[in-house]
Amino acid sequence: MMRNLISELLTRLAEKEEESKEFVAQIEALEIVVTAILHRMGHQDQQAITCSIEDSLANVKPSDTVTSYDTDLLKKYLIRLLNRPSV
C-alpha cells in the first residue's frame, strides 16, 4: 500500500516537472519572438509599444485571485523583456 502511494506520488511529480519544462519552453519561445518583432520595428514604433505596455502595467493591481507578488513578478519580467538590448 505505502509503496503504491509513493509510486503514485513520484509519477505525479514527474508529470508536473514535465509540464513545468513545457511551460518554460513556451515562455522562452514567446520571449524570442517578441524580442525579434521589437527589433524589426522602427524606434518610434518600439517606443509606442513600450509606452502602451507601461501604461497598462501601471493599472495592474492585486486582486482576490492575483497576489501583489504575481503582479510584481509580471512587471519585473515585462520590464526586463522591453529593455532587452539588441542582439
Same domain, 49 and 85: yes
Angle between helix axes 43-58 and 68-82 (nearest 10 degrees) is 170
Which amino acid is present at 45? D
Q: Which pLDDT score, from 0 to 100, does residue 8 have?
A: 92
Same domain, 24 and 54: no
Q: Kindly indicate the confidence band of residue 84, based on its pLDDT and cuts at 50, 70 and 90.
A: low
Cα torsion 22, 85, 68, 15 to 10°: value is 10
What's the predicted TM-score (pTM) here?
0.64
Same domain, 50 and 31: no
Q: What does the pLDDT look like over 57-70, one tens digit per residue?
A: 888 788 888 888 98
Check if the beta carbon of residue 39 is closer than 8 Å to that of residue 82.
no
Same domain, 84 and 46: yes
The parent domain of residue 28 ranges over: 1-40
Task: Over range 5-23, report the average pLDDT.
Answer: 93
Q: Name the 3-class secondary structure at 3.
A: helix
**pLDDT at position 85 over 80:** no
- C-alpha–C-alpha distance, residues 69 and 67, integer Å: 5
